[in-house]
Amino acid sequence: MIRNLIRIEDVTTQWWDGLYSTFCDILEHPNDYVDACRGKVMASLFFEPSTRTSFSFQSAMQRLGGGVFGFTDPATTSASKGETLADTIRVVSAYSDAVVIRSKLEGAAQAAALYSPVPVVNAGDGGHQHPTQTLTDLATIAQLRGKIGGITIGLCGDLKYGRTVHSLVMALEKFDNVRFVLITPPELKMPDYMLDHMRRTGQNFTEVTSLEDTLPELDVLYMTRIQRERFPDYNDYLRLRGVYVLTKDKLRAAKSDMTILHPLPRYDEMGYDVDDDPRAKYFDQVRYGMLIRMALLANLCNQKRETPHSHPLTTNINCTNPICVTSAEPYLPRLLSLEGGQSCGYCDKSLI
Ligand code: NCD
């Protein structure tokens, strides 16, 4: 049983198996779940724009018979009057049975969990993680390919700022025989903390720059958008925009049973002519995303309220990541993670 879903590492394979079997059951017998969250309420706090994630959570909760309140524009909330995240969470968790939060600050969901007596779900924190997108991706691969392991997966595009791929790598490494091909220009490589983690845990991966040359070896191609909003210098974005464009023509070189996934939204990295290709599965992925969130909420919203646990490890070293939640919310205790030496317990960036 998990309490909060902050990082995908919170998910064990055993817990995943249970969640996936609920997902399959919902797919077959949706009517059995219409009261699974009757009388429960989900708080939906989107401090950053969203279409799929926010709507899929809302739709999921409503299909389970539960209610939703929240915002997609933080300008309408007391955060715009200077209310701290801790106080916002204490307030909304008093009204709800689960809190779903998206923020541009890395570690925001971890910070929220320190103050919430109800489960907290990370719906994306800056360029750090997006664990429910990963649950979506895993469910899609399992449904469409019959199992998750035994694949060569190409992750293409912005692996530096793209949070979906960080969570996906951490999840896939728990399955047998997964080979990663990281397809990026040097400027958008996986962050060092992720590459260090992949080396330390013995992942089978290569880093390449050409999508065309790599396509024939892939079982799954995971395309991503260049994350314009996360570039400190907009000119860098302008230089890198359009670096990969998947077209119908290029797909001739790919395996006939390759699965094309994309967390969406797309910008210019995937032509509309790809949509008709039977290998294009990103709109199935959207549907599965709502169903896996139903399975997640049915579990989390029915847990008991609990006094939040204090975090076991703290430090007096300040994190230097400018978009770590600790830089915007300075009262937060400095949390330590011992993964790979010493790293920030919110954003996972190295502290040394
Ligand atoms: C992604 C995100 O927000 O990180 N979108 C989503 O949740 N499906 C991907 C993106 O914005 O590029």
CATH number of the CATH domain containing 95: 3.40.50.1370
Specify the residue with its C-alpha closest to ligand 1, atom 8: 263
Q: Angle formed by the axes of helices 13-28 and 282-300, to 10°?
A: 110
- CA distance linking residue 30 with residue 291, whole number of Å: 9
Q: Residue 320 falls within a domain, yes or no? A: no
Q: Are residues 57 and 139 in the same domain?
A: no
Q: Active-site residue among 7, 40, 63, 102?
A: 102
- CA distance linking residue 254 with residue 326, whole number of Å: 44
Q: Are residues 114 and 154 in the same domain?
A: no
Find the mean pLDDT for residues 44-54.
94
Specify the residue with its C-alpha closest to ligand 1, atom 7: 53
* Domain extent at residue 302: 8-130+289-311
The identity of residue 228, as a single letter, is R
- CA distance linking residue 160 with residue 302, whole number of Å: 36
The total number of structural domains in the chain stands at 2
Centre of ligand 1 from the C-alpha of residue 123, in Å: 9
Q: Residue 352 falls within a domain, yes or no? A: no
Q: Verify whether residue 81 is a known catalytic residue.
A: yes
H-helix or E-strand containing 309? none
Q: Residue 101 falls within a domain, yes or no? A: yes
Q: Residue 183 falls within a domain, yes or no? A: yes
Confirm or reject: Cβ of 66 under 6 Å from ligand 1.
Answer: no
Report the pLDDT value the prediction gives residue 177, as an integer from 0 to 100: 97
Report the pLDDT value the prediction gives residue 185, as an integer from 0 to 100: 98
Question: What is the pLDDT confidence band of residue 75, given thresholds at 50, 70 and 90?
Answer: confident
User: Contact, 138 vs 20, CB < 8 A?
Assistant: yes
Q: Verify whether residue 130 is a known catalytic residue.
A: yes
Centre of ligand 1 from the C-alpha of residue 127, in Å: 10
Q: Are residues 264 and 139 in the same domain?
A: yes
Confirm or reject: Cβ of 128 under 6 Å from ligand 1.
Answer: no
Does the pLDDT value for residue 233 go beyond 90?
A: yes
Q: Are residues 46 and 17 in the same domain?
A: yes
Q: Residue 343 falls within a domain, yes or no? A: no
Q: Are residues 103 and 143 in the same domain?
A: no
Question: What is the pLDDT confidence band of residue 309, given thresholds at 50, 70 and 90?
Answer: confident
Find the mean pLDDT for residues 97-110.
98
Q: What percent of the chain has pLDDT over 90?
A: 93
Report the pLDDT value the prediction gives residue 352, as an integer from 0 to 100: 85
Confirm or reject: Cβ of 285 under 6 Å from ligand 1.
Answer: no
Counting atoms of ligand 1 from 1, which one is nearest the CA of 263? 8
Q: Are residues 275 and 302 in the same domain?
A: no
Report the pLDDT value the prediction gives residue 71, as an integer from 0 to 100: 92
Q: Residue 332 falls within a domain, yes or no? A: no
Counting atoms of ligand 1 from 1, which one is nearest the CA of 162? 4
User: Contact, 131 vs 11, CB < 8 A?
Assistant: yes
Centre of ligand 1 from the C-alpha of residue 191, in Å: 18
Listed residue (207, 208, 285, 215) closest to 245, CA to CA: 215
Listed residue (305, 298, 297, 255) closest to 279, CA to CA: 255
Listed residue (172, 222, 241) closest to 201, CA to CA: 172
Structure token digits, residue 247: 């077209």
The identity of residue 85, as a single letter, is L
Counting atoms of ligand 1 from 1, which one is nearest the CA of 130? 4
Q: Are residues 137 and 284 in the same domain?
A: yes
- CA distance linking residue 197 with residue 109, whole number of Å: 21
Pocket test for ligand 1, best of 161, 164, 165, 270 (most atoms within 8 A of CB): 164
Report the pLDDT value the prediction gives residue 5, as an integer from 0 to 100: 98
Q: Verify whether residue 52 is a known catalytic residue.
A: yes
Q: Residue 321 falls within a domain, yes or no? A: no
Cβ within 8 Å of residue 112, ≥6 positions away = 85, 89, 99, 101, 120
Counting atoms of ligand 1 from 1, which one is nearest the CA of 264? 8
- CA distance linking residue 3 with residue 92, whole number of Å: 17
Report the pLDDT value the prediction gives residue 244, as an integer from 0 to 100: 98
Q: Are residues 143 and 283 in the same domain?
A: yes
Q: Verify whether residue 225 is a known catalytic residue.
A: no
Question: What is the pLDDT confidence band of residue 68, given thresholds at 50, 70 and 90?
Answer: very high
Q: Are residues 249 and 148 in the same domain?
A: yes
Q: Angle formed by the axes of helices 13-28 and 131-145, to 10°?
A: 70
Alpha-carbon Rg for the chain in angstroms: 20
Centre of ligand 1 from the C-alpha of residue 83, in Å: 27
| Total number of residues shown for the chain | 352
Q: Are residues 135 and 251 in the same domain?
A: yes
User: Contact, 121 vs 300, CB < 8 A?
Assistant: yes
Find the mean pLDDT for residues 53-62.
98
Find the mean pLDDT for residues 267-271.
95
Higher pLDDT, 248 or 80: 248
Q: Active-site residue among 7, 63, 128, 130?
A: 130
Q: Are residues 100 and 82 in the same domain?
A: yes
Q: Report the chain's mean pLDDT, rounded to a whole number.
A: 96
Q: Residue 211 falls within a domain, yes or no? A: yes
Centre of ligand 1 from the C-alpha of residue 315, in Å: 32
Q: Are residues 148 and 276 in the same domain?
A: yes
DSSP state of 66: -
Centre of ligand 1 from the C-alpha of residue 283, in Å: 14
